[in-house]
Copies of this chain bind each other. A is one copy, B any other.
């Protein structure tokens, strides 16, 4: 740490470790650790209100979230800049009218120790009001993945008690929460582990578990942002029952394959009167408080747990993110940047 300048307001300059996108990741193929690098050459000036302006904040990042949606950003993030993603952070310098210094927030930040966030990123931060739960939960069950599970399950699929729910990639951040919500709702749940993803050369025709699951009266098919694509969706379509619903919040296979696998069984949408609906969770953030009212008691009573896979330190970030796409994580993959 160094004190710079002679003005009354001292400027503290600190190292700002960053995970930099070394080069664009092509639209096709898996991202590699070597696409990113961790640098310690950057510095940032702390305690300088001017640098954030009247619409920005300077935050200290505590937890960063590994999310499948980061994959598509890796083809677009400017090279030699920190990659971006959801995280939990503490506001050190505040120019934004919605927040104060010391507030804890969750939202999109940079993969670095400190970030300056201005419009429009700063506007989308959410102040954390409940700190009696682990703060890292705001990257998972109480953040974007939790809201995705909630919206997809309750708003898009609206399953009834006693119906079967099929969840692809049930060990992912969203999938595990849909599964637990479904059980609380009185539904039967068929979980499908990540290992069935296309990346393992999975052949649904030879997989007795999948077929057994799909042949039951499944009413709701929840496709989290997971390793699914042509083959798994085709298998699901082939086994639809009348009036089934499919919620889609992403298709990882698409992210990594570039040219998507073809889906051949859409005709069953007609024969089985199926509704298939895509959604993006930020459209529903106005329901966040309603969501918290539902889920916080469940967490406090131990009825819903957020299984977390915590990687320690920014240095472990690239590996944690890359492994998300090969499905090695069990539960929500978090990178711990700093102690609270």
Contacts and interface: CB of A to CB of B under 8 A. Distances in A.
Interface of A: 230, 233, 248-251, 254, 259-280, 283
A273 B265 contact: no
A249 B261 contact: no
12 contacts: A230-B262, A233-B266, A248-B266, A248-B270, A250-B270, A259-B264, A260-B265, A261-B262, A268-B278, A274-B277, A276-B276, A276-B277
Contact of A263 (B249, B262, B272, B279): B262
B249 A270 contact: yes
A32 B274 CA distance: 32
Count of identical protomers in the assembly = 2
Looking at A262, A268, A271, A280, the one whose CB has the most chain B CB atoms below 10 A away is: A262
Contacts of A230: 262
B270 A280 contact: yes
A273 B156 CA distance: 11
Given A260-B264, A261-B262, A276 B269 contact: yes
A169 to B, nearest CB: 15
Contact of A251 (B249, B254, B270, B276): B270
B283 A278 contact: no
A244 B248 CA distance: 15
What are the 6 A-B residue pairs with the smallest beta carbon separation, nearest first? A262-B262, A269-B278, A270-B278, A275-B277, A254-B267, A260-B264
B267 A271 contact: no
Nearest to A268: B278
A280 to B, nearest CB: 6
A276 B279 CA distance: 12
A240 B233 CA distance: 21
A225 to B, nearest CB: 9
Looking at A248, A259, A270, the one whose CB has the most chain B CB atoms below 10 A away is: A270
Contacts of A260: 264-267
Given A254-B267, A266-B260, A275 B273 contact: no
A267 B263 CA distance: 11
A15 to B, nearest CB: 38
A266 B251 CA distance: 9
Contacts of A264: 259-263
Given A251-B267, A267-B254, A273 B278 contact: yes
Contacts of A274: 277-278
A181 to B, nearest CB: 20
Nearest to A251: B267
Contacts of A271: 278, 280
Contacts of A233: 266
A251 B267 CA distance: 7
B262 A273 contact: no
A259 to B, nearest CB: 7
Nearest to A255: B267
A269 B276 CA distance: 8
Contacts of A259: 264
